[in-house]
Chain A
Amino acid sequence: AQSVAQPEDQVNVAEGNPLTVKCTYSVSGNPYLFWYVQYPNRGLQFLLKYITGDNLVKGSYGFEAEFNKSQTSFHLKKPSALVSDSALYFCAVRDLYGQNFVFGPGTRLSVLP
Chain B
Amino acid sequence: GAVVSQHPSWVICKSGTSVKIECRSLDFQATTMFWYRQFPKQSLMLMATSNEGSKATYEQGVEKDKFLINHASLTLSTLTVTSAHPEDSSFYICSARGKISVKNTEAFFGQGTRLTVV
Complex Cα distance, B67 from A102, in Å, reads 21
Q: Tally inter-chain residue pairs, CB-CB below 8 A.
A: 52
Query: Number of B residues whose C-beta is below 8 Å from A?
Result: 27
Is B112 within 8 A of A97, CB to CB? no
Which of B13-21, B70-78, B79-87, B99-107 interfaces with chain A? B99-107
Question: Is A84 an interface residue when CB atoms closer than 8 A count as contact?
Answer: no
Question: Is A25 an interface residue when CB atoms closer than 8 A count as contact?
Answer: no
Is A51 within 8 A of B93, CB to CB? no
Given A44-B95, A105-B42, A106-B42, decide whether A97 and B100 contact each other with a Cβ distance below 8 A: yes
Q: 26 A–B contact pairs at CB < 8 A?
A: A32-B105, A34-B106, A36-B109, A41-B9, A41-B10, A43-B6, A43-B111, A43-B112, A44-B93, A44-B109, A45-B109, A46-B1, A46-B106, A46-B108, A49-B105, A49-B106, A51-B102, A99-B32, A99-B49, A100-B46, A101-B107, A103-B44, A104-B43, A106-B41, A106-B42, A108-B41
